[in-house]
A and B are shown apart, each in its own frame.
Chain A
Amino acid sequence: MQKIEEMDIQSSADVVLVRQAVRQFAIEVGFGLVDQTKIVTAASELARNTLDYGGGGTVKLETLQEGGRRGLRLTFEDQGPGIADIEMALKDGFTTGGGLGMGLGGAKRLANEFEIESVVGEGTRVIVVRWR
């Protein structure tokens, strides 16, 4: 049975709540501890991006079932300024904020599937999937 939940990301306390919800979903999908840690860490990076760069937004958590395998899809959306150069934003060490610039590229490495769409002036959507 598919489970879906949508959450707001408007404060750093919400980022903590997103981490906890993603952990719960990952456990339900049957992820081992390392896979749980990876998807929760990716979620933490992306939720922080949504808050810091997107000015807040939402995340949708969905459990997936495809053939015999199960997975977890996270969709982060904001209506912020958007990303002008996505290729640059994915590079390690690139940051327009005060961070290390590891968030987006790191989240991509921690996921099995990664998709990003962004329109300057309209917002950004990032989708990550991790399979069991």
Chain B
Amino acid sequence: MERIAILQMGEFLLVTIQVDMHDRLAMTLQDDLTNRISQTHANGVLIDISALEIVDSFIGRILGNIAKMSRVMDAETVVVGMQPAVAITLVELGLSLTGIRTALNVEKGMALLRSSIGEPANAQAIATKWDAEDDAED
């Protein structure tokens, strides 16, 4: 069965989407990633979408689901490398990708992951952010 490779790099999982994904392939990625987070105890997931020529509402939903699920499993997700034309189209489509952290490229994404989970000092910051988000929902 066709699959998208998930690489492990220390405490992070790395995914580079290089094909025009059909919907079932995207769902498989979502399931595979959740399983791998649980198996490897990874605390960060980096998804490189620089080769994706479009992000429609379905792919947007999958990316959002991955971010939510990984957060529940104590891992942060960062999506990197969105092409400018894709970003422009996403906004017009009406998708804001709320809850998904993004960075311009893999290097910046890795730095973001490291800073958000690396130092213990940041655990407090994340906890505070969580409280703030919870409050906002009330």
Contacts and interface: CB of A to CB of B under 8 A. Distances in A.
B57 A102 contact: yes
Interface in B60-107: 60-61, 83-86, 88-89, 92-95
A109 B85 contact: no
Interface stretch (B5-13, B18-26, B120-128, B130-138): B18-26
B53 A37 contact: yes
A41 B89 contact: yes
A109 B94 CA distance: 9
Contacts of A40: 53-54
Contacts of A34: 84-85, 88-89
Interface residues of B, number: 23
A73 to B, nearest CB: 19
Contacts of B57: 45, 99-100, 102-103, 106
A37 B56 CA distance: 10
A37 B88 contact: yes
Interface stretch (A16-24, A57-65, A121-129): A16-24
A23 B86 CA distance: 14
Interface class of chain B by DSSP:
helix
B85 A36 contact: yes
A44 B90 CA distance: 13
A33 interface: yes
Contacts of A92: 94
A12 B24 contact: yes
Contact of B93 (A12, A16, A41): A41
Contact of A33 (B22, B58, B85): B85
B22 A110 contact: no
B40 to A, nearest CB: 28
Nearest to B22: A12
13 contacts: A12-B23, A13-B22, A19-B20, A37-B86, A37-B89, A44-B54, A48-B23, A99-B61, A100-B60, A103-B57, A106-B94, A110-B92, A110-B93
Interface of B: 20-24, 53-58, 60-61, 83-86, 88-89, 92-95
Given A34-B85, A45-B56, 13 more contacts: A12-B22, A33-B85, A34-B89, A37-B53, A37-B54, A37-B86, A40-B53, A41-B93, A48-B56, A99-B61, A100-B95, A106-B92, A110-B93
